Chains A and B, each alone.
Chain A
Amino acid sequence: MRLSLRELAVAYRAPAGGSLPALGPISFDVAAQEFVCVVGPSGCGKSTLIRVLAGLAPASTGAALCDGELIEGPMPRIAVMFQDANLMPWRTVLDNIALPLEIAGMARAARYKIVRKLLPQLHLERFEQAYPAELSGGMAQRVALGRAIVQNPRVWLLDEPFGALDALTRERLSLELLRLRQRYTQTIIMVTHDISEAVFLADRVIVLSRRPGQLVADISVGLPRPRSSDMLYQRDFLQLTKRVRASIEELGN
């Protein structure tokens, strides 16, 4: 699925009256099956961008389109995952991942069958009866990822999905994300503040300016796929991260 932003801008109502611009106006396209990472200083409206695409927040002006269709509310083919795993503490791993299927009205046996097929790919097969409080941060994020992709959506919106994890877990989950993606072929927009994570994962890195976030750089990552952790030390990779870093630093303080 193809995503397009057309002069999209979002402003929040300020507590003192008037409006507080949070994002844009911004325009860019994401081709079908493309993996785009969005980086930028904190508070630049990255999360707002995800919320608009997910249909959770309205655009103030301009529009967000999915395959030419205006995004006005949540769409079943677009899934979203947040920085905090946001699991239901009273549901087991199995039932947390099965939630979207249950809401869609699928019978218990059918949804468990689907989830149990997904669990090994998430390395969670031994934890299906565990409750969220019994999981590590990395495992909780895997459950959140599983819940996001269980309905096989065509678009994944990832809002700093590994932001709260330690460096090693983060790297491992990034690789797992790519592996999961190779089996499916989705369009992905991922927000992150980690430049090398962005370059490592994406086909394209988009750099946003300070609030209200506007597009300041659109950098193609020509690195071959599949990506592997060796690449993190290669020249091409390092040059790309330097370029992204430079465009962020140009924004000044």
Chain B
Amino acid sequence: MGGPRYFVLAALLDGRRHGYAIIKQVEDLSGGQVRLAAGTLYALLDRLAADGHVESDGAEVVNGRARRYYVLTERGSAALRQEAVRMAAAARVVTERVTLPGLGQDAGAETA
């Protein structure tokens, strides 16, 4: 699962969001590392919907602007959790053996 795809699914973990709210949430969650353009976001949402990972959950017009909301499906939630477990396992391969800058202590000692 690519980074943008992972963060879009993670952005929907707390509940339904519309396009711009997803973009903002992805930026926050990734610490500004993933900044989605609208074109990229909608292509991603199309693919996630085709895979059954997200679905549309109503639309409304706010201040004259159309908004459609998206929610995570059970399948999407399962895929996200699976990816998180996979990445955590991959991270442990390193953090159990070396001290990473920024963590302030031996990550291996913490997890042992």
A, B assembled together: no
